[in-house]
A and B are shown apart, each in its own frame.
Chain A
Amino acid sequence: MIQLHNIDKHFGSQHVLKDVSLQVAPGQVTALIGPSGSGKSTLLRCINLLETPSAGQITLGDASLQFGHDHAQPGRQDIHRLRLQTGMVFQNFQLFPHRTALENVMEGLLVVKKWPRAQAEARARELLQQVGMAHKADAWPGTLSGGQQQRVAIARALAQSPGLLLCDEPTSALDPELASEVVAVLRDLAANKMTMLIATHDLRLAATLADTVVFLEDGRIVEQGSSRQLFLQPQNPRTASYVSTLKEGLPEDW
């Protein structure tokens, strides 16, 4: 079970997350949608503690951390434990350019899990197979297309079998064709009951992949519900106007 309780985040005088509470059911895909600057990226980054929440509580499986003035700063061990429960996929892939695709996927297994090389390599090859990148195992990231890089990045994020996969705009840096190969991989993961939290402004991605959709604006959750309900019968007028762009589609005079 993944639970966020009353998460607050300030950057200086900016209040970017305001009392956000969220539950992600295991085996489900949750999409965070909302305009730029709505706080969806920050919320993801708070979950694996790339940002430290100003207040609130995060529970991931059996690890739980509290933040705020009344609580001691979480120690390195706590942060480490929480991080290992999550995998992160970045908008710009962020593969390690000086390591091959295979080495990228092996890195955490070797350094964090301290697996023997042969075992780590076997696991990494299996994951590359899963994302359809086995044939590029020895390629440098710089020689791969964006879609291929993102698929390797997904394999890397999955290497240590996290309970939750966080995807921060996983397709936003890709053209539609390359994006679709990444979406196919994510759909495959969803079919295998991987718990995922995806921040995206690609409403089609959210509509096709997510079980639950959360609309975030100005650091607050405006509305959440099943993707069908949120896209077809939004309750809040702000949500309605935001998701209407999905349904507009082609120009009217066509």
Chain B
Amino acid sequence: MPEWLKLMVESLPPLLYAGLVFTVPLTLLSFACGLSLGFVTALVRLYGPKPLADGFRFYVWLIRGTPLLVQLFLIFYGLPKAGIVFDPLPAAVIGFSLNVGAYTSEVIRAALLAVPRGQWEAAYSIGLTWAQAMRRTILPQASRVAVPPLANTFISLIKDTSLAAVLTVPEIFQAAQRIASVTYEPLILYTETALIYLAFSSVLSAGQQKLEARFGQHLHQAQETK
């Protein structure tokens, strides 16, 4: 076995461990929180009272207009000066969730608007309430539109979690840095790290196709019979 391959094989367990114990949970938790925040933001901006909608618009403007790295530094290193102290992992989850929330809110808002107004009216006309129409008529159709751009955000997030290394979270990238600093083999270690991220996001892309197929059942059928 060549030397470089041996190093790769040896460093795989600690890297995968960091991935499965930190990167993946950090990603899933941040995406779940961020998506919920994005959904609420989209709903308030579309249907909420003006002052509240303006508040959420301000939030989206602020987050989208500033670098993620700066936001993470502010939360983890800046806020303690104001007496608000977070552990590294919660600080990362908060930072990523706020970020994901801002971006996904725009995706969800656009997807909800993409459903024709007539669908609301059809739902109302058979006696559905706003909430029932939203859940049973509008959301399933909006989901079909939202899945590809949401998958974009999700895949970006997996990669962005490497920034958590600077908040001392021992995720994949930090593990790689640690090993590279003692083996003096940055080329090998960072190549391996890139491949692991690639593998993770490939698995998720496959999941995206499954979701699209599920929400788009009626569309695939329609295309086949034509």
Contact = CB atoms under 8 A, between A and B. Distances in A.
Interface string A46-89: 00101000000000000000000000000010001001101110
Nearest to A112: B127
Secondary structure of the B contact surface, majority rule = helix
B129 A159 contact: no
A141 interface: yes
A159 B128 CA distance: 13
Contact of A98 (B118, B141, B225): B141
B141 A90 contact: no
Contact-size category for A: 20 to 34
Interface of B: 116, 118-119, 121-129, 132, 136-137, 140-141, 144, 215, 217-219, 221-222, 225-226
B140 A98 contact: yes
Given A142-B218, A142-B219, A94 B128 contact: no
A118 interface: no
Contacts, number: 74
Nearest to B121: A50
Contacts of B221: 140, 142-143
B141 A112 contact: no
Contacts of B140: 98
Residue among A86, A87, A141, A142 facing the most chain B CB atoms (10 A cut-off): A142
B121 A111 contact: no
Nearest to A156: B126
A80 B218 contact: no
Contacts of B128: 107-108, 111-112
Contacts of A94: 116, 118-119, 121-122
Contacts of B226: 143
Question: Which of A76, A90, A92, A143 is the most central at the interface, judged by chain B CB atoms within 10 Å of its CB?
Answer: A143
B125 A98 contact: no
Contacts of A48: 125
A83 B136 CA distance: 19
Contacts of B132: 111
Contacts of A141: 218
A182 interface: no
Interface in A117-167: 140-143, 156-157, 159-160
